[in-house]
Chain A
Amino acid sequence: DIQMTQSPSSLSASVGDRVSITCRAGQNIKTYLSWYQQIPGKAPRLLIYASSTLQGGVPSRFSGSGSGTDFTLTISSLQPEDFATYYCQQSLSTPTFGGGTKVEI
């Protein structure tokens, strides 16, 4: 299995802040990387796939970048509804998820 490591595991931020979350793959996964948002008590929601493609209906303040082993999810201006846990997921081989990054106020 390909190991996915996210950092930080949690962060504190304020509304309006620019926030970046990093995901590192244990081997080259090209751009087979997706990002999900999970609000407590809810199912995850797809934000970005193929490293940088925004899923339909997702606000443009979310963006993704990277290839190979290093990837970044950026929220350009944090909104109240963005306080959640974010997961990366690789799909070069059988799917594996990162451990999550909790974005707190």
Chain B
Amino acid sequence: QVQLVDSGGDLVRPGGSLRLSCAASGFIFRDYYMSWIRQAPGRGLEWIAYISDRGTVTYYADSVRGRFTISRDNANNSLYLQLKSLGDEDTAVYYCARFGPTVTYFDSWGQGTLVTVSS
């Protein structure tokens, strides 16, 4: 079955960097658009980035554009999110999610990985 496993979350100081990973299995990874979505403690869901199936198209929310970079390795069925210039507002659980076939909804989610930005 479809499985997405998020990893890489950690405690990081303001201004620091981190790379998150998402290992995919159970489906043909290279055929799907993928996204990262985050959730600050006690808050709602915020979409932050997506990448096309071949990795040629990326798009970001205004809140992270220029600081975060989404990428993928289709040979190794992996999705990544590089986070830089982190601030308190970036503290959240980060989920990778698979877009459904019509690229309009998220039909599978990772379990999430917690990023805490604090001095």
Which residues of A line the B interface, CB within 8 A?
A: 1, 32, 34, 36, 38, 42-46, 49-50, 55, 87, 89, 91, 94-100
Contact = CB atoms under 8 A, between A and B. Distances in A.
Interface of B: 35, 44-47, 50, 59, 61-62, 95, 100, 102-112
A100 B44 contact: yes
A45 B109 contact: yes
Contacts of A46: 100, 105-108
B45 A87 contact: yes
Top 3 A-B pairs ranked by shortest CB distance? Answer: A91-B104, A43-B109, A34-B105
B105 A43 contact: no
A36 B37 CA distance: 13
A55 B108 CA distance: 11
Given A43-B95, A49-B100, A94-B59, A87 B44 contact: yes
Report whether over half of chain A's contact residues are helix, strand or loop; otherwise say mixed: loop
Contacts of A99: 44
Given A43-B95, A43-B112, A55 B47 contact: no
Given A43-B95, A43-B111, A91 B105 contact: yes
Contacts of B47: 94-97
Contacts of B106: 34, 36, 44, 46, 89, 95
Nearest to A46: B107
A44 B105 contact: no
Given A34-B104, A49-B100, A50-B104, A98 B44 contact: yes
Contact of A97 (B46, B107, B108, B112): B46
Given A44-B106, A44-B109, A46-B108, 18 more contacts: A32-B104, A34-B104, A43-B112, A44-B45, A44-B95, A46-B105, A46-B106, A49-B102, A49-B104, A49-B105, A50-B104, A50-B105, A94-B47, A95-B50, A95-B106, A96-B47, A97-B44, A98-B44
A84 to B, nearest CB: 13
A55 B104 contact: no
22 contacts: A1-B62, A32-B104, A34-B106, A38-B45, A42-B111, A43-B111, A43-B112, A44-B45, A44-B109, A46-B100, A46-B107, A46-B108, A49-B105, A49-B107, A87-B45, A91-B104, A94-B47, A95-B35, A95-B47, A97-B44, A100-B44, A100-B45
